[in-house]
Structures are given as structure tokens and as C-alpha cells.
Structure 1
Amino acid sequence: MAEATRSDGRLPVIILGGFLGAGKSTWLRHQLHEGRFAGYHLLVNEAAETPVDNLLLSGARKISVLAGGCACCAGLPDLLATLRALCDAASGKEAGRIAGILLETSGLADPGRIAAAMAEDPVLSRRLVLDQTLVLVDSLHGVQQLTAEDLARAQIEAADELILTKPAAADPVTLARLALSLSVLNPGAMLSAAEQGVAVPLPEPVPGLAPLDLPALGRSEPILPYRLDVGRDGGWVALSTWLSALLHARGDDIVRIKGVVRTPAGRLLLQSVRRVVQSPEILPDDDEALAGPAPEEGVIVLIGRGMDAERLALSWRRFGT
């Protein structure tokens, strides 16, 4: 990993990708804690208009948030404009202070499309160099994603390094088959594993185990973010009960939930992947201790397929009042 100034003066760019809920922010937080990517300017992209992932990255030297559009499509113009501005800053007042740029993509982004857009831009192609594309793969949901999501396959095929996350909770044989399948999909990529950002050994090969049989996929309904205002008045018991019922009924359609809510214990960062709800994390009340824009309390973002924003809001109002 090149983290020193290049002799040609171009800024190295690292793309961090992976499907929704793969654990990109968790992995990156640990790397920052360990001193990796020192001097890098972090760009955090979120498809939803309410940014959350930046709250985990307080160890960053400098961070910018690109919210409200995926960086490989709707948010691409903003991304390119931000990259040009960082190039200008690195040649001006920030000269010698920016070691590189790390882009944490939205879980809906195709890193290959971002890399192509950078290479085709007449300014960025001269000022930046793509150093590495890291793609995280969720050990718990990777098999389902590979068999059902073209995007998950495209992310893996674009990677220089694939990192299996959450391996401790995965079935060993399923994990071994996933690792084998990743090596078949992208034989040129380095393969590693990490638990909460800490490197761990890869799963042991299973003799006679075959990779996944990955069928051709047709068009599917798009995955979209939905914003839901649940209020700032607490109501944690009602909210947690309602979310549990929602995930039980629609867990196959809801890929990701995240948001910040006020509870008697303080501000909680709430996150889930499919039906797996992560332990809520207490955030400091001082916004200055957080990275990027202050969180929008009382708002959660649901990312999935086939949901109706009005029906979600109506369901919550009926349950929460």
C-alpha cells in the first residue's frame, strides 16, 4: 500500500467498496485507529440524503461527506467536482499535507464505474492515480448476495483486494465456499479476512468443496433509500418493537437500516443488515467529537426494494402514537 508522496506528484486514490452492510466504516475506523491512511482525505459517499457512516470515522485527518446520490451514478458529478477541488487544494494551500484520497463508497456503488470516470476525466486522469480498490464481502450474507445481486459480483470483479468481514459468525463450510467462489470470480485479487477491522486468518480449505454455482441474473427492482422521521422524543421501546416487526415481515426486502435516535441511554447509532441488528453504539452528545456533519437525530434510513415511503410513515405513526 503506497502511502508516501509519489515522485510524479499525482495523488493516490484508494476506493473502498462493498455491498450494503459489509462493514466498510467499521473496518476503516480500525485502520484509522492503527494509524493507517495517515494524511489521507476521506470522502464518504452515502446514497441517502441523511449521512450516518461518517460518525464512525472520527480518527480521520479530514473528511468530506457526499450524500444524496451514489458516487457511480447520480452522485458522480459531485464526486468528480470534489476530486478536482482536492487536486487544486493539494497544489495550493494544502500542498504537501494531503497524502492521498480514500473514497468510501455507498454500498450501492460499482467501483469499476468510478475508476472509469476518473480515467476519462481530462483533469483527474493527470492529477490522480488509482492506487488500489479494496472490496469488503460480508461473510454472513455474501453467498446470498453473489447468487442474487449483479452489483455484488461487479464490486468483487473490480477489486484488487477482497476482505471477508464478520467471519467469526459464519458457518465454516459456507465461509470456505464463499472464499473459494471469490477466488474464482476474481483470481487476481488478494484475499484476506478481518473481524471488526482486525486481520484474522482465512478459512481453512475444505477438500472436495465446489464454488458456488452462480446463475445468470435478470433485471431486478432497484434498491433505494427511504427516509423515515421517527421523532426526537425518545420512544425507544416503541421504535425497537416496530423495527423488529418490520424486519420480521420484510427482512428479505430491507437490506440496510441506519440512523441516530435519542434514548434514555443517550444518542444511539442504530444499524442493521437484513434481519441482523447490530448492537447500538452510544454517540457522544458533543457534535465536535464526531467526524463530518452532525447527525440528524430522530431520522432513520431504510435501504431496500419495493417499499412505499408513505405506507412506512403511516405504519410508524399508528404504532408509535
Structure 2
Amino acid sequence: MRVLVTGGAGFIGGNLAESLVRAGHDVTAVDNLDPYYDTGIKQRAVDAAAAAAEDGAGSYEFVEGDVRNAALIDELVGDAAVVYHQAAQAGVRTSVDDPRKPNAINVDGTLNVLDAARETEIERVVLASSSSVYGKPEYLPYDENHPTTPVSPYGVSKLAADQYARVYHEVYGLPTVSLRYFTVYGPRMRPNMAISNFVSRCLNGEPPVVYGDGTQTRDFTYVDDVVGVNRQLLRDDAADGEILNVGSTDTIDIRSLAELIRDELAPDLEIEYAAAREADAEHTHADVGKARALLGYDPSTTIREGVREFIRWYRANRDWYEPLVLRS
């Protein structure tokens, strides 16, 4: 199958593109290589997918381009049977500093993808949304009917994008599925995330730093589980027109996460605390009942298993990855 992955050099998009190539699909990845975080990580993602193609599975083409370029997106979408729209300006705190950039990429860029797709006979557009759309919890776990009151411009932009996808399905009959990801982590993750920072500091004999009092909770989702549900949507139409939570169903508070990583790597270190960061959510916890009912989604990686797997990957790739973490 011919597949387009926007944001295909990013963390989730890169892992997805590589997995699809290894499964024998013909993948085009488009990414603007924005230096929001070090582009060296993105180049590793491109190289991994290209290596998968050289192994004799599917084919792979990388296009450096931007989802804000409507003409380019028209051309690329027109050649695809399925589009995975992973491209986005990530970062809650970044969006607080500059709300217009995430709007231009996450909203206008999404409209470019949707407009291009509705002019074709495309089988499906799968959109990467975010748990940031929910904002402050009125109850937990979040189900898809929970009120959406995002607390950051990033969350607002992702909410607008997944609602556009829903409306394009209802108004134009475009097959769309929006997946609201809950704190995805794993190999090649952005270097400025809590897990990568905790691992780096502990490996270097420095105490992990928790922002706030550490009682904030997160539903951390291992990237392989996210890739798996995306791949199922290549041919499964059971969720067309739907918005689905994709989480782990498991939560951990940030202090316990820091302790888990500390105990794995440097048990004698003490946890340090710093002021909480602006616009960070207090709690996230996914109800994945809808994804389970429609797609049989069953996340298989616990936070302990995922952290250990990430630590193994980090150690194997420490020479190039750790300098990026230390600079973040």
C-alpha cells in the first residue's frame, strides 16, 4: 500500500514510517526538519526507514517539505492510499511563548491535508491528536466525551485539528480517524522530555529534577503501542469518523517516575525539586474503552517495562543521543 506520513522524521512519525516500510509498504515521509529539537534525531529516523527499505521490505522516499505548503501536500496526498498526519508543532510551553506558530502548522497544515484528501479516493486520513485537548480534568480517566477545555495554545490547536477531521468526515464523507495520544515515549523521543532527562541525569550521577511537587500524574504510552494502533488503521474502517483515546491505561506520578528511573540507575541519588512549569497539565489518564471496542486496542507495555526498554536503547545510543539531551 502507498502511504504518506507527514512529520515522518519526527518521533512518532519516524517510528511509524520505519515500521510500515518493514511491513512491506511503500512509504513517503514529508517533514520540514524544524529545529524545534535537534535535527540529528530526525535524521536518524530517516536513516532507519531508509535502511529498512534497503533490507528488501517496502520502499521509502523522504521529502523535505512543510504541511503549510498546500501545493506540495496536494501532490503528495494525491499519490497515497492512506495518510498518517503526524506533523505538528509540538510543545505546550513553546506554544505559550508563540501561539501563532502551532496554529499555522497544526490547524492550517491539517486543513491542507484534509482539503487535499477530499479531492481524491483516499482510503483514510489518520490524524495525530493529543490528550492536551482535555485540559483540567472534571473526572478521570478522560473518555472522549470529557469536556475539552485546553489550558495551552497547543491544546487549542490540536482540538481544532481533530474537530476539523470529524467535520470533514461528516460533511464531505472523508474517512478520518483522530487519535488522542497520551504522553508517548520511547526510542528517539524528544530529548527535552521528563523520561529522557531523568535517565540522562542519573547516568551522569546527577539527581533527577522534578518540576512542581511531583504529584502530577501522567498516562505514559510506549511508542510501539501507538505504532500498532496506527498500523491497524491501514485497512480497518471500524473507527472511520471517530475520535479515540490512545493511552496506556496506566498512570504514574512524576515523583514515582523519577524514583523508578533513579532506582534502576543510581539508587543513592536524592530527588530534587524545582518550580512548576506554566501550562503543564496536572493529571492525564486515558479511558481507552472506545478504542478497545472498535479496534481491539490493548496496550501491552507497562511503564516499568517501557522505561527499562528505553534505558537499554539510551545506553546503546548514548554517544549521539545524550549530548542532545544535555543541550535541551
TM-score of the two chains, using structure 2 as the length reference? 0.33
TM-score (norm: length of structure 1): 0.34
* Structure having greater relative contact order (Cα 8 Å, sep ≥ 6): 1
**Computing the radius of gyration over CA atoms, which structure comes out larger, 1 or 2?**
1
